[in-house]
Every structure is written in structure tokens, then in C-alpha cells.
């Protein structure tokens, strides 16, 4: 009897386990990965995580309130925590002395410094910080992304402000205050006039540069002078000094978020700001001895306005391109020859590359996303484009703004596309309005005006693969159906048929130019199709006539409802 009861009890336990197990398994679903949170308001706090040293953290990161500590150590000064170099300048790194670069050493250094100080304060009966692990490595910061402040863009406006301010206070020798270079002979920083450059050249430790600059970068790296450390050291020391002498109002910012605003000026906003004077020429004539094409007349002054930094073009050093890029390539220029240096279509530093990037802007992309300046298969450029730059000592004059007044207005005012009319009404296309709009966009841009020398260039945007001059001469409009078959070409199933040609060309332009109406991805009231052509009230409901007869007959018997398009 007892045994039977025992068996029954075990049986019941089993049943409960099965029920519980099934319940758990049926609601298990897929595991949802924990989402990483971001701290919305960093508030000048600093994350101590050092993923590059510790990898995956065992304990949560420490969020360090610098301001609190600044207040606490006010009397003792920054030197309590931060090391000072031989020139009495603060180095904004922490901890003061780290004996080695491995995990143990770094952790020990932090613990010694932080906990040591907290212990000391406690002994002195002053307000102190945490001593226990979990109070600094707080659990709530486990899934939080480490705080990172946005990069500071020291744009021309800021530079100009500094130049003006320093000129005011010092009068001369203003550049020397910040700019320097490293001398291998003297093994220290020196200043040479008219060689001032961006800090990034020598202090951007991640970038691979040519042999000359790479040697200097090596020195920067040895001294731990990354962009972050170098700029903090340079800027903050100066600002702190001025704050001490003249008070907070006169000095520059010393709080993280005051420099790291995350707000950046656009190229347009910086256009009017005078560029730093390095003795650069207004115009230069770029040519190569015994070259096949004429040289290029380059207006440096206007081009200065088109980028936010000099580094956009002077990517390695503030010298002329020719000095590193020779006809056949030099080691200094990474063996990139001069043709590639000026013409590389995908580089941001070359002339052609930058121009190509401009055509990717939404005002231009409508036509330009389809136009290849270079035939990718034969790798040969369009010959008519070369002559626009290679003009010799004098550039081509700027052409007159484009206008449609010279065209046959009545013929191009409105185009009705009714060749494919079936389910929808014919589409009425405001041709003249569009050409006028494109002309306006072109006239608003110097680059566009220079290259679109006449109105016929604009026609090419849509009437592609059709010689412009011939079309202009002929009396008949260039129909799309002249090249695009109305039905599928069974011999070439990839060929764009007429329906596709209209849809992809028209919608493609609207998509690239980010125009809401007529866009292929943006739902509008009334439907996307209705923007160009309304659906016919009555009309053929059948799109296709040939059926899959066997399947059709089987399925017809089970039709539940037929939706008739309105």
C-alpha cells in the first residue's frame, strides 16, 4: 500500500513537471537580446571602461562625475590627480602613474588612486567617495553604452576667433602659441613660420601617413599624444591659465560639453569666414611638363570656400599636390601618380572625386545617378568633359545662366503619355516646368553652371543614350518608345520595357531628389500612382489574358470573393 502511494506521488510529480515544462517551452519563443541603453544627458560625466584594454568587462563601467571631484579638490588643484609635465603643463590623463599597459596594472593604478584618495579623505573626516566595489561599478550601468562625447570640430570660425583674440592680447607671435612641429635633430617641438598645419596630421594616431609624417606620428604615439590627449593638453592648459588670470568669462571653455557640443557648422555657414593666411596664392596653374593635355587653371580662392577644412584636399600635409604626386608616382605619395591624384573618381581628395561627390547631392542626383562620368568597363572618360578643365592658362569663361527661352516652348510645354494606356488615364507630364526647375538648380551652383554650358546638357538627364545635338536638330520629339519595347523582349529579358522605363526613370529621379510627391517609397494621400495618372473608373480588370489553365480551373471553384478594383 505504501509503495502504491509512493508511486502515485511520484507519478503526480512527473505530471506536474510535464505540465510546467510544456508551459515553459511553449512560452519560450525566441530569446530577446537585451538592448543596450544610452545615457541621454552625459552631463560632463566620464565613462571609465577602457574596452581597448579590458575587452569584455567583468564588472560594469564606472561613470565618473568629474565636476564633483573638481569641487572637492579645488584647494589642491588639478595636480592632485593629473600628472604635470616638465613644462608645468597638465597632462589630462589618469591615473598618474600606471606601471605597465596590461589589465592588472591599469586596474591597480585606478584602484590605488581612487580608493586611496577616498580612504585618505575618510581618515581626515571629510566627505568621501565609495570604497566598496559595487558603489563605483554600479549595476545599473551594465547594459549602458559607455559615454562618448561628440568630436569637436575646430572649424574656421573658431580658428578665426582665436586668431583675432590672440592678436588682441599678444599683438604678434600668435600662431606660435598653438602651432608647432617636431624636430628630430633637436628632439623637441619647434616653430617654423609659414609651416602651420592642422593638428590632425601628426596627432591622428589612427591614420597611416607617408614616411615623413609617419615618423612624427610614431613620436606622438610614444608620448601618448593622441588627438584627444594633445588637444586637451593644448587647449585646456591655455584656458585654465586664462581662467586663473582673467576669470571665467574671458577664458575659453573648460567643461566637456561646452566644446563637445555636437553642433557643427555647414560649409555654407563657413563660406564667409576668412581662411587662415598661409600665403596661399589666389590662382594657380597646374601643369605637367610634356603632358598630353593642356594644363588646368585652378582658382584656389573660390575652392577654399567649398570645404570645411583644408585637409579635405591637402590630406597628408599642407603642400601642393605635385610635391608628392609625380607623373609616375613617388614613395612620398604612396606611389599614386599625378593622373590618379587629380582624377580618382572615388576619392574625396581628388578634383574629379570631389566634383563627383557634388553630383550625388539631392539637387543633382536626379539626373546624375544615371550618368557615368567614366565608363566603368572601358575605364575611359567622356572626352568632352576633359576640355572643360584642361583649358590652358586661362579658364573657360562662366557661361550665361541657362534658360528655356530659346526652345520651342509650345512643343515642350506638356507631354501626354498615352502609349501604354490601359488601366490608368494617360499621364500628363509638365515637361517645361521641370526643365525650368532643373535650369534654376543648375544656375544656383557655380560648379553646375560651369559644366552645363548650355541647356541641351540638361536634356541628357532624361533623354539618355541619345546624341544631344542630333535630337535638337530633328523635328520629332525623342520618344522613349524609340528604344524601349512596349512588351518584353523575349530574346533579352533584362532589357527595360517601356512600362519599366517610364516608372524607373520618373520615380527614380523623384527618389534621388527626395521629392515627396511621385516618390516610389513615400505613401501619399490618394496613392502614389494617382500622382501621375489616375485609375480609370471602368476599364479592363484583367492585367494578363493567358492563364495557368489547369491551376486556374481548379482554383476557380473555390473563389471566396473577388475584389474589383474601383
Binding residues for other proteins (CB under 8 A): 3-4, 7, 10-11, 14, 17-18, 21-22, 24-31, 376, 488, 490-491, 493-494, 496-497, 499-500, 503-504, 507, 520-521, 523, 526-529, 542-544, 546-556, 558-566
Question: What single DSSP character describes residue 247?
Answer: -
| In the complex, least distance from residue 304 CB atom to other proteins, rounded to whole angstroms | 29
CB of 531 closer than 8 Å to CB of 422: no
The grid coordinates of residue 248 equal: 571665467
Q: Which CB, 194 or 564, lies closer to other proteins?
A: 564
Q: SS3 for 443-466, per residue?
A: HCCHHHHHHCCCHHHHHCCCCCCC
Q: Which CB, 30 or 186, lies closer to other proteins?
A: 30
Nearest to 177, CA basis, from 186, 185, 189, 187:
189
Residue 381: φ, ψ to 5°: -75, 165
Q: Which CB, 29 or 211, lies closer to other proteins?
A: 29
- Residue with the three cell numbers 609616375: 328
| In the complex, least distance from residue 315 CB atom to other proteins, rounded to whole angstroms | 21
The grid coordinates of residue 444 equal: 544656383
Q: Which CB, 47 or 519, lies closer to other proteins?
A: 519
The grid coordinates of residue 347 equal: 576619392
**Residue 375, beta-bridge partner list:** 380
| In the complex, least distance from residue 378 CB atom to other proteins, rounded to whole angstroms | 13
The grid coordinates of residue 96 equal: 598618474
| In the complex, least distance from residue 497 CB atom to other proteins, rounded to whole angstroms | 7
Q: Which CB, 303 or 362, lies closer to other proteins?
A: 362
* Strand pairing category for 188-190 and 181-183: antiparallel
| In the complex, least distance from residue 493 CB atom to other proteins, rounded to whole angstroms | 5
The percent of the chain in helix, strand and coil, each rounded to the nearest 5, is 40, 5, 50
Alpha-carbon span 437 to 19, nearest angstrom? 71
Nearest to 94, CA basis, from 124, 119, 116, 123:
116
Q: Which CB, 17 or 131, lies closer to other proteins?
A: 17
Ramachandran bin of 465, using left for φ above 0, alpha for ψ from -120 to 50, beta for the remaining angles: left
Q: Which CB, 140 or 490, lies closer to other proteins?
A: 490
Q: Which CB, 3 or 272, lies closer to other proteins?
A: 3
- Taking residue 308's Cβ as centre, other Cβ atoms within 10 Å add up to 15
- Taking residue 350's Cβ as centre, other Cβ atoms within 10 Å add up to 22
- Taking residue 227's Cβ as centre, other Cβ atoms within 10 Å add up to 18
| In the complex, least distance from residue 69 CB atom to other proteins, rounded to whole angstroms | 39
User: What does each C-alpha distance from 226 to 157, 432, 472 come to in angstroms?
Assistant: 24, 56, 60
User: What does each C-alpha distance from 12 to 127, 347, 530 come to in angstroms?
Assistant: 61, 74, 67
Q: Which CB, 405 or 545, lies closer to other proteins?
A: 545
- Residue with the three cell numbers 510535464: 18
Q: Which CB, 360 or 472, lies closer to other proteins?
A: 360
Q: Which CB, 148 or 554, lies closer to other proteins?
A: 554
Alpha-carbon span 306 to 187, nearest angstrom? 38
The grid coordinates of residue 451 equal: 559644366
Q: Which CB, 249 or 564, lies closer to other proteins?
A: 564
**Residue 286, beta-bridge partner list:** 296
Alpha-carbon span 513 to 534, nearest angstrom? 23
| In the complex, least distance from residue 429 CB atom to other proteins, rounded to whole angstroms | 16
Question: What single DSSP character describes residue 481?
Answer: G
Q: Which CB, 345 or 412, lies closer to other proteins?
A: 345
Close Cβ partners of 257 (under 8 Å, ≥ 6 residues apart): 42, 43, 44, 149
| In the complex, least distance from residue 554 CB atom to other proteins, rounded to whole angstroms | 7
Q: How far apart are the first and last CA of the chain?
A: 78
Amino acid at each position: 500500500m505504501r509503495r502504491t502511494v509512493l508511486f502515485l506521488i511520484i507519478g503526480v510529480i512527473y505530471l506536474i513537471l510535464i505540465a510546467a515544462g510544456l508551459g515553459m517551452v511553449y512560452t519560450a519563443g525566441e530569446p530577446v537580446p537585451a538592448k543596450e541603453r544610452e545615457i541621454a544627458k552625459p552631463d560632463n560625466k566620464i565613462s571609465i571602461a577602457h574596452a581597448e584594454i579590458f575587452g569584455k568587462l567583468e564588472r560594469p563601467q564606472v561613470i565618473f562625475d568629474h565636476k564633483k571631484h573638481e569641487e572637492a579638490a579645488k584647494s589642491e588643484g588639478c595636480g592632485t590627480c593629473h600628472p604635470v609635465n616638465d613644462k608645468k603643463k597638465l597632462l589630462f590623463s589618469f591615473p598618474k602613474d600606471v606601471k605597465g599597459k596590461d589589465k592588472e596594472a591599469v586596474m591597480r593604478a585606478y584602484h590605488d588612486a581612487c580608493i586611496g584618495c577616498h580612504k585618505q579623505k575618510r581618515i581626515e573626516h571629510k566627505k568621501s567617495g565609495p570604497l566598496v566595489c559595487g558603489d563605483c561599478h554600479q549595476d545599473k550601468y551594465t547594459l549602458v553604452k559607455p559615454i562618448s562625447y561628440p568630436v569637436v570640430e575646430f572649424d574656421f570660425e573658431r580658428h578665426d576667433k582665436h586668431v583675432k583674440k590672440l592678436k588682441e592680447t599678444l599683438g604678434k607671435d600668435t600662431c606660435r602659441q598653438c602651432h608647432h612641429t617636431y624636430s628630430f635633430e633637436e628632439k623637441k617641438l619647434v616653430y617654423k613660420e609659414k609651416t602651420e598645419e592642422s593638428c590632425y596630421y601628426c596627432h591622428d594616431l589612427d591614420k597611416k601617413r607617408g614616411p615623413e609624417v609617419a615618423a612624427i606620428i610614431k613620436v606622438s604615439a610614444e608620448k601618448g599624444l593622441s588627438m584627444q590627449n594633445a588637444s586637451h593638453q593644448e587647449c585646456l592648459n591655455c584656458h585654465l591659465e586664462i581662467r586663473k588670470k582673467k576669470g571665467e568669462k574671458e577664458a575659453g571653455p573648460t567643461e566637456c560639453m561646452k566644446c563637445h557640443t555636437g553642433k557643427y557648422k555647414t560649409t555654407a555657414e563657413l563660406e564667409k569666414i576668412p581662411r587662415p593666411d598661409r600665403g596661399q596664392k589666389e590662382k594657380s596653374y597646374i601643369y605637367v611638363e610634356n603632358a598630353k593635355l593642356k594644363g588646368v587653371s585652378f582658382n584656389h580662392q573660390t575652392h577654399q570656400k567649398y570645404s570645411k577644412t583644408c585637409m579635405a584636399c591637402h590630406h597628408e600635409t599642407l603642400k601642393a599636390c605635385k610635391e608628392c604626386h609625380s607623373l609616375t608616382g613617388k614613395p612620398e605619395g604612396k606611389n599614386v601618380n599625378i593622373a590618379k591624384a587629380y582624377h580618382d573618381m572615388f576619392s574625396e581628395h581628388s578634383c574629379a572625386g570631389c566634383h563627383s561627390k557634388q553630383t550625388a547631392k539631392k539637387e543633382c542626383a536626379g539626373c546624375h545617378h544615371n550618368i557615368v562620368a567614366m565608363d566603368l568597363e572601358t575605364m575611359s572618360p567622356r572626352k568632352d568633359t576633359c576640355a572643360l578643365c584642361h583649358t590652358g592658362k586661362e579658364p573657360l569663361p562662366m557661361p550665361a545662366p541657362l534658360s528655356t527661352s530659346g526652345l520651342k516652348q509650345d512643343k515642350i510645354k506638356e507631354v501626354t503619355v498615352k502609349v501604354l494606356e490601359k488601366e490608368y488615364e494617360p499621364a500628363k507630364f509638365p515637361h517645361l516646368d521641370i526643365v525650368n526647375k532643373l535650369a534654376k538648380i543648375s544656375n544656383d551652383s557655380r560648379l553646375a553652371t560651369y559644366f552645363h554650358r548650355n541647356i541641351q546638357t540638361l536634356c541628357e538627364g532624361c533623354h539618355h543614350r541619345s546624341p544631344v545635338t542630333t535630337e535638337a536638330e530633328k523635328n520629332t520629339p525623342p520618344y522613349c518608345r524609340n528604344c524601349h519595347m512596349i512588351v518584353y523582349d523575349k530574346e533579352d529579358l533584362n532589357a527595360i520595357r517601356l512600362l519599366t522605363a517610364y516608372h524607373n526613370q520618373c520615380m527614380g529621379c523623384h527618389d534621388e531628389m527626395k521629392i515627396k510627391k511621385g516618390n516610389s517609397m513615400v505613401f501619399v494621400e490618394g496613392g502614389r500612382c494617382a500622382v501621375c495618372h489616375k485609375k480609370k473608373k471602368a476599364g479592363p480588370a484583367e492585367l494578363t489574358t493567358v492563364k495557368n489553365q489547369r491551376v486556374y480551373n481548379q482554383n476557380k471553384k473555390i473563389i471566396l470573393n473577388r475584389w474589383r478594383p474601383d
